Structure formats: C-alpha cells, structure tokens
Amino acid sequence: MKKTIGIFAHVDAGKTTLAEQLLYITNTIQERGRVDHQNAYMDRHDIEKERGITVFADQATMLFNDSTYYVMDTPGHVDFSPEMERAIAVMDAAVVVISAVEGVEGHTETVWQLLRKHNVPTFLFINKIDRVGADAARVLAEIRSELTEDACMITEEDMLHEGVWQAPLIEAVAERDEQLLEAYIKQGYEPSRWLKVMSDMIKREQLFPCFSGSALQNVGVIHFLHQLDLLIKTDYDPQAAFAGRVYKIRHDDQGARMTYIKALGGMLRVRDEIMYSTGGETITEKVTHIRLINGGRLIAADQVQAGDLFAVTGLTAAAAGDGLGNLSDRTVYELVPTLKSKVQFDSSIHPKDMLRGFRLLDAEDPSLSVHWDESAQAIHIHVMGLIQLEVLERIVFERFGYQITFGEPEILYKETITEAVVGCGHFEPLKHYAEVHLRLAPGERNSGIVFENACHPDMLPVNYQHLVAQHVGERDHHGLLTGSPVTDLKITLLKGRAHNKHTHGGDFREATYRALRQGLEKTTNRLLEPYYHFKIKVSAEYIGRLMSDLMQAKASFEPPETAGDQVTVTGSAPVSTMMNYSMELASYTKGRGTISLVYGGYDWCHNEEEVIERKRYDKNADPEYSSSSIFCAKGSGYSVPWDEADRHMHV
C-alpha cells in the first residue's frame, strides 16, 4: 500500500524533528539530524540550514510494515505557505505537530483551515512533552476548542495489542455518532470491524486522532507510527488509465525542467505520452525520464504506478495543480500573496537576462506572479512577506549569480465595479477587423472573473467566441483607478462581428480589451484591498491597549471572550494596517500575546482616496490598454473616444 503523508506545524513546534525520527525508526536514515545542528535529512538546502526553517516542501521515502510512505516536510513559516499548499493537494493524510508548551499557534490555524479545504484526513501530534511548561492536557483542550471537537487522544494505555483498543477509547469514538453508538451497544466490539470504522471516520474527517510525545527523545513516536499505519488506508488502482496531479516544478543543475507528479491511477512508463491542458491549450508530450526522489537523491525508474510520487522530464508547460492524463481538473489554491515588490539590480545586468531567471522561479512558485513592465523595463513580483524576499535574494545569487535587492513591499490592491454596464470595443485599422460587446456586472466578493457566453453563432462564429473567452481570462486587466487588476466581475459576451477576409489572430484581443475598458469608463469603479481574519489572545491587563490598536487599524471584531485571565478577540482588518502588528503585540505583552493572521480575501479599501492619490495612475497613458476604438474610413484607421464609440459600432 502506498501512502503520502505531510507534516505541518507552526515554526519551532518540532515538525522536522518528528520527520527525522520517523525516518530513523524505519531505517531510512542511519543517523537522526537536527535543525539546530544543520544536518536534517530533508532540510538540505543551505538557506534552510542557516536559518533553521523549512523553506521547500521536500520529500523522503520510508518503508514500514507492508506500506511505502512518501513523507513530505512542509514549510512552517507563513511566508512560504503557498509551497505548503501545493503539497497538500497530493496528500493522503496530514500530521499537524503542536508544541506541548506553546499550544495552538497562529500558523497552526492556517494549516488546519487549508487541510479542511482540501479534505485531507489529519492526525495530531502534541510534541515536546519533555519541555519545562509542557501540558498535553491543556493543549488537547485548546485543540478541541480552537480546531475541532472531534480530536480523540489515543495513548499507549488505550491499546490491548496492535489493532485492538481498550473499551474506553472505543466508547469515546462511538459517542460521536448515534448510529455507531447504537451498533456498539447491540453488537459490542469486534476489532477488525472497528479498525475499518475508525479508518472511515478519519477519511471522512469525522475523527482526528491525537497523540503526544517527544520527537527529540523518541517518546511516543513508535506508538504514533503504528497507529498511523493502521488507520491510514488508500485504494489506488494501478490497472486504471493513468491519472496524475502536478504538485511542483523544479529545474535541475543543467536547467532541465522537472515536473513533480502524484500518480492517482494507472501506470506511467518512460516514453509514454501524457495529455494535459494548461492555459486553455491541450498538449500531448512524451516522458523522457522518470525519477524517484528521496531527500536529495534522484533515482532513475522505468515506470511508476498509482500512489507514487515522482518527477519526470519532457513536460514543458505543465504547471502546479494541473491534472494529467485521465484527470482533467485543476487544483485551485487559496493562499495568495498580498504584497508586491520591484526587483532591483545593477544596470550592467540586462533586464531580459534577469527576467529569464525570474521566469524559471515563477514556474517553480506561480504565486510569485512575475510581471514584466515593458514601459519601465522593470520586474515586479508578488510575495507573502519580508523573509521570503530575503530568501529570494539568496536563491537568485546561488542559481543565477546575480546580486539583487527588492524595493519596499507594497499592498496588492484590486478594483471592481458597482453597477452593471455594456462595454463595446471595435478594432479596424486597415486590413484588420473585430468588434466585441461585453456586459460587465458586479460579482460576489472574492469570486474573481466569471465569463459567460450569450452570443449566438449566427452573430459571431464559435471560434471567435472562444477567442474572446480566452482573451478575457489570459491575464489580469488594469482598472481605471490605480491600474490594479479588476476582479469580482461577471463578464458576458453579448455579440460581436468578424470579417471573412480581414480578421486576424490578434484583432479580437484588441477589441476585447477595448470593450472591457470602455465598460469600466461607463460605470462606478471602487478600490479593494486584502484583509486578514485575525484571532488575538492577551492577558486581561492588555485588553484596553489591544482594543485601541484594533480601532486604529480599522478592524471590525466580535465582542472579546474571556477565559480565566486570557481574553480572545476575533475579527478582520486590512492587511495594510495589521501586517506588522505581531511584532508590536509581542513587544507590549512581553512575548505572551498570540496572534493568528489568516488571509481573508478582498473588501472595500479603507483609505481609497489616499491610495489613488499616492498611485497617481494615468488611465489615458496606459500602454497596454485603451478605451478608444479604432474604425476605418477611406483606407485609413481613426480613433474614436470611448464616450462617442457606441454610435459608431457595427452591431
């Protein structure tokens, strides 16, 4: 049986130490590494060793009983959360490590919500019970109050022998479901049946087994591994048609593109062809090499099968999240950066050379959203935080030999509209022709761009309708207020026109962009900014200061909840006002206050006029967009302003 498990935690909870202990117990490694000794098996990059944090989601293979385990050690720092989320999508189960001293921390809740979104069965390991101040019972209570009421502690005392549990544990499980409790009362406890019952409950996320121990001292880890092995069940079918999911892109030392895949069905051999869709295009390519990954080692293989994690060469365009073969859907990732920064480098380096390097990094981490500003000859990237920028500086130097810095990070704003409108775009310079009519309507908050087609084929041939849909979705489109991407729009193609002789490939791009832009000119535009959902805990003596800070940060929040001498406040606030608050909180609470900041999507900008004034975007001087239309008369094209264009349209 093949199983992929991921290990998650807040920074310093002992995630990598647990991974090392599991690999050592299963004889995968001969010596246990430690983060603080810079010799952890899966923290093999110099950056990770020096900083003492996991930056990349690396993997190892271990054998236990009759199962092959692919173990993924994921980043625990919030700045590298997108790397973590890409790995989540291919996991059969997750292990969330929580410190017995610090308890449930900010990033723990972020991880938990992502695991629930992706429906990953989850085990909990309360670590560091050997530390001063450790209290596993208190942490279990925190887990039940802040993460899930369905956490169930399984101790070694709960076991009669392997696969057979004591009655109190079985009764605790049965009490979670009325039908299950009734069956238990009538039929009693039959071990093999209850093993399946518990496995099914875990798979359906109705039960979350919890364990405690010390990964560093190997206390409770063997018991945890045995239970993990018993309770995780997979049913991959190697006889099915091949299906896979891309979860990572890397480039080897020679620059060859390596596509990391989880096989979800069937088999794959060297020289097999894989079909996949990316960017609206269907591609078929041949696999030239297959590699199994174990720590830093790449092991050649002739074939792989359902349940395996591996890397291939030969795929040139597949991106993280893409389905392959018999799997056509694409994973939608929830974590998105809220900051952008400009890449700064010496004038002796040609910008296009630098851009080539960042394009490679963008393939490996699509959350970077690398953007080339042609008019300014500048590269901009999207990031999660300052630590990520520091790591990127090091990566760029090590891989490409370029010394770079980054400009001060700025908030990533977006724009939307408040009323529905119809926008028209016409593009007809000499020997070109396209016309597009789009209805723009406000969408649900955080719904993005939704495209619908209401155009009859008699009005515009289907192939041109597909072009309009492609051009709407091929990039972010600039808004009028700050040039930020427009979002939360429902865009409907109403009608259009092509010319049998003069319409060429790019004409509908021009017409579509102009129709979109003209529609924006006709309606009211509003600025959006990213928000955090926050949960802050402080002792009662600091609640006055906290409430004052939250009001100043333009936060909205629920009434404070008091438990003992601790007060908890939950709510939402702009990223711009809260992004640095964790340091301030630590300062005035002397490190005893805790804060959880989770990306909560976009909402109305709290200081819209100030931001617009600061950005100084000139909507009439954007080289990529124009709201005017181009018409043709007497053999030459002429421009018609947006507010006069409607009466010139041909349909």
Q: Which two tokens stand for residue 382?
A: 């999207």
Listed in sequence order, the residues at least 6 apart from 529 whose beta carbon sits closer than 8 Å to its beta carbon are 411, 413, 414, 574, 575, 576, 602, 603, 604, 605, 606, 611
Phi/psi for 287 (5° steps) reads -75, 120
What string of DSSP letters covers 223-276? HHHHHHHHH------TTSPPEEEEEEEEE-TT--EEEEEEEEESEEETT-EEEE
The single-letter DSSP state of residue 559 is P
d(CA 585, CA 594): 8
What per-residue confidence (pLDDT) applies to 186? 79
pLDDT score of 283 more than 60 = yes
How many Cα neighbours within 13 Å face the side chain of 427?
24
Listed in sequence order, the residues at least 6 apart from 461 whose beta carbon sits closer than 8 Å to its beta carbon are 498
pLDDT, averaged across the chain: 90
Write the pLDDT tens digit of every residue in 550-600: 999 999 999 999 988 889 999 999 999 998 898 899 899 998 888 888 888
The pLDDT, as a whole number, for residue 52 is: 58
pLDDT at 513 over 60: yes
Q: Strands 2-9 and 58-64: what pairing?
A: unpaired
* Alpha-carbon gap, residue 446 to 427, rounded angstroms: 32
Residues 347-351 have a mean pLDDT of: 92
Average pLDDT over every residue of 493-504: 95
- pLDDT class for 47, splitting at 50, 70, 90? low
Distance of alpha carbon 440 from alpha carbon 234, whole angstroms: 46
Provide φ and ψ at 162, rounded to 5°.
-55, 125
Given this model, what pLDDT does residue 298 score? 85
The predicted-structure confidence for 526-552, as pLDDT tens digits, reads as follows 999 999 999 999 999 999 999 999 999
- The pLDDT confidence band at residue 169, using thresholds 50, 70 and 90, is confident
At residue 535, the 3 state secondary structure works out as strand
pLDDT at residue 38 in the model? 53
| Six token digits for residue 38 | 């810079």
Residue 56 above 60 pLDDT? Answer: yes
CA-atom Rg of the chain in angstroms: 28
Structure-token match 């761009």, residue found: 449
Amino acid 53: pLDDT = 58
C-alpha pair distances (Å), 414 with each of 96, 490, 526, 529, 579 = 34, 15, 9, 6, 18
Q: Which one-letter DSSP state was computed for residue 26?
A: T
Q: Which of 147-161, 196-210, 226-240, 388-402 has the lowest mean pLDDT?
A: 147-161
d(CA 409, CA 386): 8
